[in-house]
Amino acid sequence: LCSSPSNRSRPLSRVAVSGGTHGNEMSGIYLAKHWLRNPMELRRGSFAVTPFLGNPRAIEKCVRYVGRDLNRTFTTEFLSSAEAEDKPYEVVRAREINQTYGPKGSAQAFDFMFDLHNTTANMGACLIVDSEESLLPMHMCHYIQTHYTRSPCPIYLYKLLGEETYSINSVAKAGLALELGPQPQQVVRADLFTQMRDLMACALDFIELFNKGTVFPAFEIEAYKITGRMDYPRYPDGEISAMVHPKLQVGVDWK
């Protein structure tokens, strides 16, 4: 059960969207580049969206990351650690993003940030929120599920109990990630590109309604919540020693 969002007197005016947080997930990269050339598509009457490329070096090499996963680098450990020349590029980039769109947890941070991803998993159009306690993103998910009818949009809550948020959109006051699949890495599927673009338009329509004072009542909603993480079995030297069973692998990994 999600209650109505609070702070109705505070419209969202500073909104950002990241494409290419992972440099081989192409839908968000191509969309961000499109919006950088055509920003009017992201404008609404009460706000505009700032698009940016999350990990330019990884995008240039068309790899997930060059040093470490950027989308696991927005914790206090990395954002506040001492400067050093041998820091991975993604740590430096995380600090740049935090300085531009944060600082994380501050009153100066952007009001909302979208983060665009693809996956090879058969999870369709997935809406990713840190937890059910994030009321505004949960209401946005409910609005998308109600108004976007092309496909189901399951909700995934990624944060474990007591865990610090670590994703790129955690530098803003609130955020939502879109993860669409299945799509091979380093490939653009036109249908998923269009679907991601339409989902973003629907999400921006929600913000416009929110800014205009629309009342969003409480609701009940189904969401998938992480309960733990399990690594592959490994040999003593760290090499993976097993694989996903065929009954779980072929087209049913999100069923």
> Which residues form the catalytic set?
179
Cα–Cα distance between 101 and 110 in angstroms, integer? 5
213: left (phi over 0), alpha (psi -120 to 50) or beta: left
In whole angstroms, give the CA distance from residue 181 to residue 183: 5
Sheet hosting strand 112-118, strand order edge to edge: 48-53, 14-19, 112-118, 175-180, 125-129, 155-157, 224-225
Say which amino acid occupies 2: C
DSSP run (H or E) holding 180 = strand 175-180
Do the annotations mark residue 239 as ligand-binding?
Answer: no
Query: d(Cα 63, Cα 221) in Å, to the nearest integer?
Result: 35
Contacts of 116 (CB under 8 A, 6+ apart): 17, 18, 19, 21, 25, 27, 28, 31, 32, 177, 178, 196, 200
According to the annotation, is 245 in a ligand binding site? no
Place of tokens 């609404």: 44
Contacts of residue 36, Cβ cutoff 8 Å, sequence gap at least 6: 51, 52, 53
Tell me the binding residues: 22, 25, 117
Q: Residues marked as binding for Zn(2+)?
A: 22, 25, 117
